[in-house]
Structure 1
């Protein structure tokens, strides 16, 4: 049972950074690895991750040593990517906004490689933290194999938490991209938008990356103005969520709009609209005629629900 308002909340994994300097922790007989392939997670039929021994023969399809995530009450946990494996099934939908395909690895015929978003609401807090950490780190490794300073292929060090260039000695560390996601309100109305590539009826809160030299508050105001031409005055930070798609940290905020005329940027949005609190209650109940319920486990769903219930400003509602 998930006891937080959204998925991937941290706090139950002991990251044990002091163990990253050697490979001794991987020799622990209780050490297990979560398996990923092209960002997808090996999961059982119930949606929970399958953890395998580090010496499993199928892990020979990895490129790098398994990444050490940390310690759990049941032993060390790692994450491993299998980029050298090719499935017999059609994988054409991988990378699309909605990937409903399921790949079967012959080593685990009773499990499936699934899109993490599809199982995140049912993950325990510890599972969610391990999955989010592992997926984000593996994505970073897959896109940062070569030194940004000299172009040589870098080596994995510190059990996956550093890449070091053997040619120029430059060290590279995992990156996290800051993103703001905001509940923008005006009176008793909430601003929702829909991206150009999103499925029909899917709406959410506006969001965007924080730019260099910018505060969270400034990013909220800029993104809302750019995407909808709505001006925002007061902004307050509410909560945050690690978001491993691919490696972001979502800063959930509330902003008070001082204008209400919407002019969308068609590059960023297909539509944006003000919805009343009554409309939001219908959306959350799944009975709104035009808008689907937000995806469970997301910070957007938590913020929208908290605003509809009048709890957005109660700090005790959020327990990260």
Structure 2
């Protein structure tokens, strides 16, 4: 039976992370010459072509990068590594573009590479004593030379939620977004908080709308730079939205007809614009609209 493709980016084609290889330098060295190498610059852009994907660069072409490269995993027996690359003349692709145009495996591997290299670039010193970190386990562990404290890549959990009062969908927009662009509400989980509590708190903080209950649907790694988006649908009171000055420029209820027109692409000149299809936000809106329209029949 065919498996349906994931409805948003960075899910399909995931590599076998091969954790058992991370402490085996001899096997890593043997895999290196034939390995696929993803090269990213300091801004997180990958070397590659917009349509064709990353070039077929093997480890053999860059022997000096072997000890600093991060093992991403295996695919069909071939190892994949990622490393920083300072070639300013090389063609570059940003992750959002790659997610829309590259093959699934390459785009998902790129997302993984961007997140872990971002962590390494910004965690070079120990947060406890200030000592320099020395990276091991094929790039997935930083150990302090001063106090021996171990540091691991950071992922920040965040909820993202389609909020409905039963007839309308609550969406918000940030000041820096394109005109008329609205999205589902989102926010980071705080220490000592359940996901359900986060949903209620974030929605109220951002819009003053009270959530009655919520339900988890799906998750998406979001490497901008290092989040895990936990997708929910929520039932809420039909409160008048009052957006937080710190969080959102605007928040409002949208009718089923307004959302449907936006999903069909009928609002390019005027009306609501939604998040692109690479994000779980768009999928949550689509799910809400599909469930809402089915209940109308």
Structure 1 residue 228: Cα displacement: 0.4
Which of 18, 36, 44 does residue 20 from structure 2 map onto?
A: 18
TM-superposed CA distance for 1:282, in Å, is 1.1
Moved more, 2-11 or 221-230: 2-11
In structure 2, what is the Cα distance between the partners aligned to 1:266 and 1:194? Answer: 11
* RMSD value, Cα: 2.3
- Is 1:53 matched with 2:58? yes
Contact 2:183–2:274 under 8 Å retained in 1: no
TM-score, normalising length from structure 1? 0.83
Question: Offset at 1:198?
Answer: 1.6
Alignment check: 8 A CA contact 1:7 1:123 kept: no
Mapped to 2, the partners of 1:140 and 1:63 lie a distance apart of 19
* Match in the other structure for 2:153: 174
Alignment partner, residue 76 of structure 1: 79
Pick closer, same or farther for the CA change 1:311–1:171 going to 2, 3 Å.
farther
After TM superposition, the structure 1 stretch with the greater mean CA deviation from structure 2, 188-197 or 239-248, is 188-197
Taking the aligned partners of 1:141 and 1:290, their CA distance within structure 2 comes to 42
Alignment partner of 1:145 is 2:124? yes
Q: Structure 2 CA distance, aligned partners of 1:240 and 1:285?
A: 24
Q: Report the Cα offset of residue 195 of structure 1.
A: 0.9
Are 2:40 and 2:46, in contact at CA under 8 Å, matched by a contact in 1?
Answer: yes
Structure 2: gaps of 5 or more residues = none
Q: Which residue in the other structure is 2:278 paired with?
A: 297
- 2:44 is the counterpart of 1:39: yes
Gaps of 5+ in 1: 88-103, 106-111, 314-320
Which deviations, in whole Å up to 9, do the C-alpha atoms of 1:43-94 show, x marking residues without a partner? 213152334122435x86x797110011001500011112xx373xxxxxxx
Pairwise CA distance, 1:9: 0.9
How many angstroms does 1:222 deviate by? Answer: 0.4
Q: Which moved more, 1:28-37 or 1:43-52?
A: 43-52
Q: Distance in 1 between matches of 2:141 and 2:106?
A: 23
Match of 2:188 in 1: 209
Task: Name the SS of the counterpart of 2:233 in structure 1.
Answer: strand
| 3-state SS of 2:231 partner | strand
Aligned length: 287
Task: Output aligned runs, 1:42-121, within 5 Å.
Answer: 42-46=47-51, 48-57=53-62, 65-73=68-76, 75-82=78-85, 85=86, 87=88, 104-105=89-90, 112-121=91-100
Distance in 2 (CA, whole Å) between partners of 1:15 and 1:86 is: 27
**2:209 aligns to what SS in structure 1?**
coil
Q: Which has the higher helix share?
A: 2
For residues 234 and 102 of structure 2, the distance between their equivalents in structure 1, rounded to whole angstroms, comes to 30
**1:186 CA displacement:** 0.9
SS at match of 1:181: strand
CA contact (8 A) 1:35 1:51 kept: no
Aligned pair partner of 1:161 in 116, 135, 140: 140
